[in-house]
Amino acid sequence: MMDKIETYHFMVEPFHVDFTGHLFLGVLGNHLLNAAGRHSHNRGWGIDQLNQTHFTWVLSRLSIELDQMPEQYAEVEVETWVESVMKLFTERNFLIRNSKDGRIYGYARSIWAMIDTATRQPSDLLALKDGDILRYVLTPDEKQCPIAKHRPVRLSAAVQPVRTIDTYYSDVDINGHINSVKYIEHILDLFPQSQFERHAIRRFEIAYKAEAYMGDTLTFVTEPSTDTLPDRTPVSTQLEIRKNAGSEAHPQGEPIVAAKVVWE
């Protein structure tokens, strides 16, 4: 069983914590993606290995649920494993734990597709390398990830944009796409300081639907829940990021990211 799990270690660096002294969620997301990359690479399924055969992994969804966010200087370990493989998607889970005292901070779930870099079309995961990927599956009976699966974000028709931003050099990754982690930063930047002072993020879900590029404008449309915490902060906010609103094809912008933030 252990050769199906990769353990990835990191220390919470001083410049990676927010004003409350806790790890930025975007940085945690980055570490999870690094752990996923390490797991894949060490099993012959890394992006560097797949690029040679014109395939690459694309992150489709990521959901993180936390009891607590690691604090500055905490030593953290991430366990990651594959829960299932379907034809076009694979589910990868994560456990996030303090490496010194074993305390579990939380869990995450992710869904990935494999695309052909020439055609940009999804590939049949079970057909690649003679189904080798199935060797690494750990079913829920073998290793549990006790958080809910992703749920679709559905905004009501009446929602209005709350912010539009331009994108620049620091927003894009090696493929020239807006970086998955940067979307998380931009989403959390929608919330006021007082909300982070009073509440912690309990769950964060993000679905990546289409790519955006340097220079695209991003419009954020949010829908806070009507349920509120005792100080009237909405319990959760669903939101969508749309690119290049105002174009003829997409006057409201083309949806590229959907997300939900749940507070406690």
Report d(CA 79, CA 6) in Å as an integer.
6
The residues of the shown chain that bind its own copies, judged by CB under 8 A, are 13-15, 17-21, 24, 26, 30, 33-34, 37, 47-48, 72-73, 168-176, 179-181, 185-186, 188-191, 193, 196, 214-215
Q: What is the DSSP string of 41-98?
A: HTTT--HHHHHTTTEEEEEEEEEEEESSPPBTT-EEEEEEEEEEE-SS-EEEEEEEEE
Least Cβ distance, residue 235 to its own copies (angstroms) = 19
Rounded to the nearest 5°, which phi and psi values hold at 93? Answer: -110, 165
Least Cβ distance, residue 180 to its own copies (angstroms) = 8
Least Cβ distance, residue 196 to its own copies (angstroms) = 6
Q: Is the dihedral of CA 136, 142, 145, 151 positive or negative?
A: positive
Least Cβ distance, residue 142 to its own copies (angstroms) = 29
Are 185 and 170 spatial neighbours (Cβ–Cβ below 8 Å)?
A: no
Report d(CA 111, CA 85) in Å as an integer.
10
Are 160 and 181 spatial neighbours (Cβ–Cβ below 8 Å)?
A: no
Which is closer to its own copies, CB of 59 or CB of 85? 59
Report d(CA 23, CA 200) in Å as an integer.
11
Q: Which two tokens stand for residue 96?
A: 């996030």
Q: What stretch of H or E contains 109?
A: strand 104-116
Least Cβ distance, residue 204 to its own copies (angstroms) = 14
Which is closer to its own copies, CB of 14 or CB of 230? 14
Which is closer to its own copies, CB of 11 or CB of 104? 11
Which is closer to its own copies, CB of 20 or CB of 247? 20
Which is closer to its own copies, CB of 67 or CB of 189? 189
Least Cβ distance, residue 211 to its own copies (angstroms) = 13
Least Cβ distance, residue 251 to its own copies (angstroms) = 26
Which is closer to its own copies, CB of 117 or CB of 139? 117
Which is closer to its own copies, CB of 189 or CB of 264? 189
Q: Please classify residue 75 by burial: count the beta carbons closer than 10 Å to its beta carbon, then call 0-12 exposed, 13-18 middle and 19+ buried.
A: middle
Q: Which two tokens stand for residue 202?
A: 């309990």
